[in-house]
Amino acid sequence: MASVVIVEDEQRIRELMARALADRGFDVESASTAMDGLQAVVHGSPDLVILDMGLPDLDGRELLKMIRAVSEVPVIVATARGEDRDMVSALNAGADDYVVKPFSVDQLEARVNAVLRRAKTNGGTHPLVVGALEVDPGARRARLAGMPLDLSPKEFDLLRYLAERQGEVVSRRELLAEVWRQPYGGSEKTVDVHLSWLRRKLGESASEPRYVETVFGVGVRLVEPTE
Ligand code: CA
């Protein structure tokens, strides 16, 4: 039985979600403030967190960062309609998916199941090694020649996605869909910007690539440097 922590300050929505997920066999714990939510995540080690962005004591994004600092748990954020900026910044801060209010119980359940399925298939926590580069998905840390890399959550997700497919060419569209969770829309420029930041941290550039190789017109791949 999968366990879910719901952090939502509106009682009606919180109870509706809790009841719906409990009816579908989930073990549900709910919290009405960010601080109670953080406690529940730290002590309960849930399989999934549903996080409202508008909480009374702390911005949902801040709570997400605090959760990410201590846990890899999949997080679905709930935002109000029209607050796209919230949603984008939550995804950039490490959320796995989102729902826009008002959402139906079926919609929520579909997202929950999809995220849990993804978490299971991505569950490998063995460090991935590409040349002198080591990516540890469990600890969300990467090192180059033994030196820790200071990566943002998105840069880490991007590097991890490429490292899991080393040698394979991955398109920008695929990266938008899988790393940014934007299967429709989204800008490939976003991918390019993050790739260039990642390259800088790996001590390389597009004109002098080492690990991140561009395959013109197709995408990028992570390779072991040749020298
Ligand atoms: Ca709220």
Distance 53 CA to ligand 1 centre (A): 6
Mean pLDDT (whole number) for 128-136? 92
CATH annotation of 3-122: 3.40.50.2300
pLDDT for 122 equals 61
Ligand 1 centroid, distance to 74 Cα (angstroms)? 20
In this structure, whether the domain defined by 126-222 belongs to CATH 1.10.10.10 is answered with yes
The owner of tokens 């298939």 is: 121
Domain borders along the chain are 3-122, 126-222
Is pLDDT of 87 > 90? no
- Ligand 1 centroid – CA 8 distance (Å): 6
In angstroms, what is the span from residue 115 Cα to ligand 1's centroid? Answer: 22
Residues of the chain above pLDDT 90, percent: 67
Asked whether residue 18 carries a pLDDT value surpassing 90, the answer given is yes
pLDDT at 71: 84
- Please write the tens of the pLDDT for every residue from 173-217: 999 988 988 877 788 999 999 999 999 999 999 899 999 999 998
Query: What average pLDDT does range 93-99 have in this prediction?
Result: 88
123 pLDDT above the threshold of 60: no
Q: How far is the CA of 33 from the centre of ligand 1 (A)?
A: 9
Give me ligand 1 centre to Cα 119, in Å: 26
